[in-house]
Chains A and B, each alone.
Chain A
Amino acid sequence: MIFSGLPLAELLAIFGAVGVGVVVLYILKLRRRVVVVPFSPLWERILRDKEATSLFSKLKRVLSLLLQLALLALLVLALGDPRAAESLVQGRTVVVLVDASASMQAVDVSPSRLEVARGEAKKIVRGLGGADRMLVAQMDAMVTPLGPVTADTSALEREVDAVRATDTRADFPRALRFASDVLRGVPRGEIVVVSDGALGEASDATGPVHLGDARLSFVKVGSGRRNVGVTQFAVRRYPLDKNRYEVMLELTNTGDAAEDVELQLLGDGALVDLTKLRLQPGERLPRFYPQLSGASRTLEANLALADGVRDDLAVDDHAYALLPERRRARVLVVTAGNAYLDAALLLDEYLDVTDVVPAAYSKAIATGGWDAVVFDGVTPAEMPRAHALYLDPRGDTGPVKVGPALVQPGFDKVDRRHPAVRFLALDDVNVSAGHRLVPQAGDKVLGASDGGASPLLVAGDRGGYRFVALGFDVRDSDLPLRMAWPLFVVDCINWFTDEDAQYLSTFRTGEVWRIPVAGGVAQASVKLPDGTTQSVPVHEGRAVMLGEHAGFYELTAGEQATSFAASLLDASESAIAPQDAPSVDGKAAGAPEGFRMGVRREIWIYLLLAVVLLTALEWATYHRRLTV
């Protein structure tokens, strides 16, 4: 016997306190009605006779007290909600993991795999025993419990209905770890996975998942496997011709029959390319579209079967990408005249370059709105409130102090991870003379001479504005004669304006996205592809969110708005062929266990019935003066 209501200690305390009160009430004499009689010895006579049976009278009084205490004990027991010990031992605790990954949107079963999975989960809910409890969790890129562990079947059914499909893959190991954590220390724990089986290995970076004593069950959903999907999709502008771009994509036929497909490429909603392709069973077909033009922002790849029939999974028939936004950058060049610099700046037609002599700098910078300032052989008395490229800086008013002169320095060491010098060949640049730069803490030395001991090229941040400083006059070197020179200038300006080669044209769903945002905001709002808006936190200058759906997003941080795209691009999710029961921790998943009848016993109801009966008995005996 166990108490599922109040614990035994509290029950004993209640019984003790109220019991003492009952006994005190029995000890206390009630004030009796006074009756005047003419001759009390007559009463004495019968009471003397009655005293001969006083022992029985006392016994009856004790019996009455015991009856009251028995009533109290029954009530207190009912408060404790006693249950047979075996009833809870035999009750199961079930964690149902409903697969909500992209493959569950397949319509090979009517109306969809997810709907069928919901139905299977509800069958399990309705099959719960009286002592069974259940938790419903949605399994996709995350694992989301949809409610507490409960025996309330109506609540559980509502939780099952709350499962929503996402355009992500299922993180099976994470879901199993969550379920095993829930069931740790619980007897008769059971994990039921309702899925199409495209779950992968039950192992992650921390190793294989151990289920402990929990039983693993599997409910298979789905039957078909006909599907062709876009499994890779990327687009980028050409660095030196940002009007043109190239697209790379990959198509995969995960079905067991050859498929003829039509691939549409849409730029800003307009058809850019249409191709008919034939994919063999299991074939992964990469496609490369160079030198494309005609789109300024969005790109979308749409796939359809040539026979006009849709395949079983629609979510991977579309892929979305966003070209990096191009805008004209205003560049102020402060120079006494440098043809190499002017030539390099001419390479990027999206630059609006303004040349001023050093004397006119103050007036020019005061107009504001500059995206970058290039100082050629001059250093202003005060650093501009703009990103700046310092060529051969002078004095100590620049972002870095100018050290001693260097004779024939060279780039002995180059940090090629930095976007300003990525892909540049600087190792064999010949320099006749230069100066050693003295970086501050936090600055990055992009290139150094003397085996790395003399910084020659330094990048950093001052007051929120980036800078790059080059410690020599390019005209005292052969750098302007190399391809690295214009690229260096353009890369620096691209770094200043955040147009670098790390731009992601599309994010993958199911991953945590970190989108750069400007300004010091702590929160941003995202408009999802379905039109809804949600708030996301901003951490270290990036909005952080878990991507669950493919499509185009709009991110607003403060007054600045940016866009990005997301696509599924997951060959394992496109492979929708139902898999058999997974094997985890050396145990193959079986069928869900059914419930057992007659487990629940609400003993407190019978205790209250006994209280009612005893009260009626007490009432009858009292009014018949049997227990008085």
Chain B
Amino acid sequence: MGLLDVLPWRRAKRSVPAGDDEIFDDEFQRKLEYLALVSRRVFAGRLRAERRTKKSGSGVEFADHRDYQPGDDFRTLDWNVYQRFEKLLVRLFEEEEDLAIYFIVDASASMGFGDGRKLRYAKKVAAALAYVGLANLDRVSIVSTTDAISGRMPETRGKARIFKALRFLRAVRADGRTDLGDAMKTFVAQNKRRGLAVLVSDLYDPAGFEKGVNVLRYNKFDVFVVHVLDPSEGRPKLHGDVLVYDCETGDEREVTVTPKVLTRFAEAFDMHRADVERFCVTHQVPYVAASVEVPFDELILHVFRRGGFLR
């Protein structure tokens, strides 16, 4: 925080309310019901659901045979095998369980920069994906982060709980610094059940967004990165001598903005995005760049499906 933070108009710019009442309409909601989140891993569920688990149980998908043991349910005997080979074998089925899906929404001040369009966009994405998860009977949890876990919606399942998710998202406000590393350490400590972790953030982390992603990876979460981008931030309409003030850290820097500087800044902005994508590709982390200038339903219905995030 800089000295200029005592000025009221500067403090006001750091906290942006998220006007996010308009999440999605009914038609868009029906489209979402046909979608499901893709998890590359198979996680152990608690309740029966539509996800395969490592356990064999009462599902419909045949998994294997084993020798009959006394006490086994006779209904699981494979009589066809007995008729052929006169050997009593029990049929084993994959049991379908629910999936834990965590939506980690970045609620730092940078997400509310300007008119807060990035945070609104992130809320829409999180809400849409949460609906998809709830519709598939997955266990959905939503957390908001800054440099810690600033808010948490406990795990829930069933489409009817989407309104709970929306209420939670509506209450999220942009404020505070970004430190994904510390925030994710807290997250993994609070959530022992592994699952799908969807990180929705602008990834403006002075300490490096990689730390947060790595914390999730190292703790066996299946990480998806939704990189919320505002292209206008890469082409600021500035000129002359200005004092650049970081809305999160309060760092100041004198800059004389010239066309050449603006060009270099645009290059740095693009390079930052490329660095994020390169990191994700290198570490096999699904990555979707969500530009706020791309219509929301196109992002959900097309971009995410093309990226293999939804099926």
Interface of A toward B, CB cutoff 8 Å: 29-30, 32-47, 49-50, 625, 628
Contact = CB atoms under 8 A, between A and B. Distances in A.
B241 A30 contact: yes
A38 to B, nearest CB: 4
22 contacts: A33-B240, A34-B242, A34-B243, A34-B245, A35-B236, A35-B238, A35-B242, A35-B244, A36-B13, A37-B245, A37-B247, A38-B109, A39-B110, A39-B233, A40-B244, A40-B245, A42-B265, A43-B244, A43-B253, A43-B268, A625-B256, A628-B241
Interface residues on B, range: 35 or more
Residue from the set A29, A39, A41, A46 with the largest chain B CB neighbour count within 10 Å: A39
Contacts of B246: 36-40
Interface in B168-205: 202, 204
Interface string B91-113: 00000000000000000011001
> Which 4 pairs, one residue from A and one from B, show the smallest C-beta to C-beta distance?
A40-B246, A38-B113, A39-B204, A38-B110
Contacts of A47: 253, 255
B161 interface: no
A32 B260 CA distance: 19
Given A39-B248, A42-B268, A45-B271, 19 more contacts: A29-B254, A32-B254, A35-B244, A35-B245, A37-B244, A38-B204, A38-B233, A38-B247, A39-B202, A39-B233, A39-B246, A40-B244, A40-B245, A42-B265, A43-B253, A43-B265, A47-B253, A47-B255, A625-B258
B4 interface: yes
Contacts of A625: 256, 258-260
Residue from the set B13, B255, B256 with the largest chain A CB neighbour count within 10 Å: B255
Given A33-B243, A47-B255, A38 B265 contact: no
Contact of A32 (B109, B114, B233, B241): B241
B9 to A, nearest CB: 9
A46 B251 contact: no
Given A35-B238, A625-B256, A46 B13 contact: no
Given A40-B253, A628-B258, A46 B242 contact: no
Nearest to B263: A46
B241 A33 contact: yes
A30 B244 CA distance: 14
B256 to A, nearest CB: 5
Given A47-B253, A625-B258, A42 B272 contact: yes
Interface string B279-306: 0000000000000000000000000000
A41 B178 CA distance: 13
A47 B255 CA distance: 8
A44 B268 CA distance: 10
A46 B204 contact: no
B249 interface: yes
Contacts of A32: 241-243, 254
Interface in B196-234: 202, 204, 206, 233
Contacts of B272: 42
B10 interface: yes
B79 interface: no
B269 interface: yes
A34 B268 contact: no
B245 A46 contact: no
A37 B250 CA distance: 10
Contacts of B109: 38
B264 interface: yes
